[in-house]
């Protein structure tokens, strides 16, 4: 492709509206153009990378046994009402009415439709397993689109859905898909992490995310320094360290005038924070929930919401706390009546805790679960943190930020049971299909690759997904000798099957070199009056290192060798 003919132009100045590196560089390099908030046009150079990513995805999906199809984005709302996901997605679900006044949605995902298709296609165990995928535009009315292609309202996505006869068969399918995903990121040339994850509003059991580590990421990942555990902070577990066991002592009321926080309480009574019980008030599904955990820990609201299976979980307002008769700053589960009590497992990792006395300016020493209070639910609802122990070995957890670029999970039978997708097993018994779901955000993956790999000058593309492999720069392009040699090398490289972006513009060397760094293609090849005089061609890797000079006759082979490394 000649830059004099390329649709889309590079910019000299950084765009003021850019929030992240990929957003800034994509706009500046002419990869994307914003049409509305969270809605972008992909220009030709960006689409080349999108197509490369899609091709890698297709090849790995088909190798894992999945078949490609295409499902409609426009779907009847009543289908989503049957699964109650119209409510679960809330305002993020885009809705409209057709000319016959029927309510429709523009789908962010396709579990409902694919389940209906499976109901028609799968009749018996002989039709299983079945795995289908599509690469299609999805829609989600994000309240705060941000960071260019990282969080948008219209996005390209690969979503796959599997159907199996039993849990053992689903395990096999899930492992095949997990391997396929790892192959995809490796083939894209991108460092990644496979981490345990929460399934979110879409539901499901076992779940893994694929994360590209980068400081600009909005996901916090906890991982074991021994390398045997990694999880999104929403899902992560940890060893918090037990407080030494003691014989239960008698409850003792203590006057704690003006003490409200855990730190104030620990300082006032000269005890460590892990010897206190924290009280946090929530409302879930309209019901007050009293949450208690060891004072040195924080509540993980995702874990709590999953435990409660409620809706609209939120921290209780002052008015809601007052209405429930709770005493903020001095509350505890001891003697509490008429309120659901949820406790973290950390209450069993110690004893003789300091807790609120449920009256202003008083606390209790030596509160013990089982003797002094009995929670309604006990579960891991605490947030894991770096520095805590790994839950699977004796290692220590560390943390990193990253961008989620893929998510797989086991859906189970919710959709098949709700929408009537059954099959006959070998005994002739009717059973619900067991489902899995597997997604990759294609545009997000492209953006995350640049968040992970760029410098102050521009993008640094991994060769497998770079829009072009070679950036051929002709300096003084109006010089007949330069033009002749550049045209010849351009033809030779294209004839050899290389993808070449040819800068044949009548621009200065500074503009051309700046644009070459900005676009970030793997290899820059320079032809100039100086290189012609020396019978050489200049080669430089965008990923680093000094430029090298090679004889004119060896340029093509040297470029091919660099790309093969």
Which 8-state DSSP code applies to residue 360? T
Range 322-351 average pLDDT: 93
Q: In this predicted model, which residue has the larger pLDDT, 54 or 18?
A: 54
Per-residue pLDDT tens over the stretch 378-396: 999 999 999 999 999 999 9
Question: What pLDDT digit, counting tens, does each position of 219-248 carry?
Answer: 999 999 998 899 999 999 999 877 788 899
Q: What is the mean pLDDT of the chain?
A: 94
Identify which has the larger pLDDT, 204 or 13.
13
Question: What pLDDT is attached to residue 252?
Answer: 95
The end-to-end CA distance of the chain, in Å, is 24
Strands 422-424 and 353-356: unpaired
Spelled out in words, what is the top-level CATH class assigned to the domain 21-237+399-451?
alpha beta
What integer is the mean pLDDT of 96-113?
96
Q: Is it the case that residue 427 has pLDDT exceeding 90? A: yes
Residue 261 burial by Cβ neighbours in a 10 Å radius (0-12, 13-18, 19+): exposed
Average pLDDT for 340-366: 94
The per-residue pLDDT for 350 is 87
| 468-564 belongs to CATH 3.40.50.800 | yes
Residue 243 has a pLDDT of 77
Q: Could you please state the CATH topology (level 3) that the domain comprising 252-379 is classified under.
A: YbaK protein (3.90.960)
Of all residues in the chain, the percent with pLDDT exceeding 70 is 99
Q: What is the mean pLDDT of residues 550-564?
A: 94
Tokens 């429930």 label which residue? 324
Residue-level pLDDT at 204: 56
What is the model's pLDDT at position 200? 59
Those residues with Cβ within 8 angstroms of residue 482's Cβ, 6 or more apart along the chain or in another chain: 474, 475, 476, 527, 528, 529, 532
Instruction: Considering only residues 467 and 477, tell me which one the structure prediction assigns the higher pLDDT.
Output: 467
Query: How do residues 168-223 score in pLDDT, each as one tens digit?
Result: 999 999 999 999 999 999 999 999 999 999 865 445 578 999 999 999 998 999 99
List Cβ neighbours of 442 (8 Å cut-off, separation of 6 or more). Answer: 50, 53, 54, 57, 135, 155, 156, 157, 158
- Domain extents for the chain? 21-237+399-451, 252-379, 468-564
If one counts every other C-beta atom within 10 angstroms of the C-beta of residue 553, the result is 9
- Does the structure show a pLDDT above 60 at 80? yes
Nearest residue to 195 (alpha-carbon basis) of 156, 237, 146: 237
Q: Rounded to whole angstroms, how far apart are CA atoms 505 and 201?
A: 51
Q: Give the helix/strand (H/E) hosting 40.
A: strand 39-42
pLDDT for res 91: 92
The residue-averaged pLDDT of 69-83 equals: 96
DSSP-assigned states of every residue in 141-169: --SS-BTTTTB-SEEEEEEEEEEESSHHH
504/510 Cα distance (integer angstroms): 14
The pLDDT value recorded for residue 511 is 96
- Does the pLDDT at position 403 exceed 80? yes
């Amino acid at each position: 492709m000649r830059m004099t003919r390329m649709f889309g132009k590079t910019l000299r100045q950084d765009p003021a509206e850019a929030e992240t590196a990929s957003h800034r560089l994509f706009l500046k390099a002419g990869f994307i153009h914003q049409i509305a908030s969270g809605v972008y046009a992909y220009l030709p150079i960006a689409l080349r990378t999108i197509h490369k990513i899609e091709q890698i995805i297709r090849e790995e999906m088909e190798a894992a046994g999945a078949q490609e199809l295409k499902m409609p984005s426009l779907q009847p709302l009543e289908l989503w009402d049957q699964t109650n996901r119209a409510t679960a997605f809330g305002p993020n679900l885009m809705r409209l009415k057709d000319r016959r006044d029927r309510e429709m949605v523009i789908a962010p995902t396709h579990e409902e439709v694919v389940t209906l298709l499976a109901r028609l296609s799968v009749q018996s165990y002989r039709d299983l397993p079945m795995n289908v995928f599509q690469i299609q535009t999805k829609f989600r009315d994000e309240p705060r689109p941000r960071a260019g292609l990282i969080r948008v309202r219209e996005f390209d996505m690969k979503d796959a859905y599997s159907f199996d006869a039993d849990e053992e068969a689903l395990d096999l399918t899930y492992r095949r898909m997990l391997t396929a995903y790892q192959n995809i990121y490796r083939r894209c040339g991108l460092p990644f992490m496979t981490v345990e994850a929460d399934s979110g509003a879409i539901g499901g059991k076992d779940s893994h995310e694929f994360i590209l580590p980068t400081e600009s990421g909005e996901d916090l990942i906890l991982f074991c320094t021994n390398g045997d555990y990694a999880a999104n902070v929403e899902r992560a577990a940890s060893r918090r360290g037990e407080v030494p066991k003691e014989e239960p002592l008698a409850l003792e009321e203590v006057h704690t005038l003006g003490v409200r926080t855990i730190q104030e309480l620990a300082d006032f009574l000269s005890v460590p924070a892990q010897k206190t019980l924290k009280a946090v008030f929530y409302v879930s599904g309209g019901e007050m929930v009293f949450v208690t955990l060891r004072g040195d820990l924080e509540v993980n609201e995702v874990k709590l919401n999953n435990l409660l299976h409620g809706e609209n979980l939120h921290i209780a307002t002052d008015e809601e706390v007052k209405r429930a008769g709770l005493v903020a700053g001095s509350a505890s589960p001891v003697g509490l009546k008429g309120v659901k009590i949820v406790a973290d497992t950390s209450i069993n990792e110690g004893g003789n805790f300091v807790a609120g006395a449920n009256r202003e300016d008083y606390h209790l020493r030596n509160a013990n679960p089982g003797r002094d209070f009995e929670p309604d639910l006990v579960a891991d609802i605490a947030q894991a943190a770096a520095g805590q122990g790994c839950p699977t070995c004796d290692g220590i957890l560390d943390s990193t930020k990253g961008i989620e670029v893929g998510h797989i999970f086991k859906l189970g039978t919710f959709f098949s049971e709700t929408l009537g997708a059954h099959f006959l097993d070998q005994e002739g018994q009717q059973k619900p299909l067991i489902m899995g779901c597997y997604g990759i955000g294609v545009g997000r993956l492209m953006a995350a690759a640049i968040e992970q790999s760029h410098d102050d000058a521009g993008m640094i593309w991994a060769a497998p997904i770079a829009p072009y492999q070679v950036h051929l720069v002709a300096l003084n392009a109006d010089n007949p000798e330069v033009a002749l040699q550049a045209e010849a090398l351009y033809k030779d490289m294209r004839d050899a099957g290389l993808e070449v972006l040819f800068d044949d513009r009548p621009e200065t060397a500074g503009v051309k070199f700046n644009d070459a760094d900005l676009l970030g293609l793997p290899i820059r090849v320079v032809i100039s009056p100086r290189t012609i005089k020396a019978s050489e061609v200049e080669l430089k890797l965008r990923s680093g290192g000094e430029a090298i000079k090679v004889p004119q006759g060896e340029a093509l082979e040297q470029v091919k060798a660099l790309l093969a490394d």
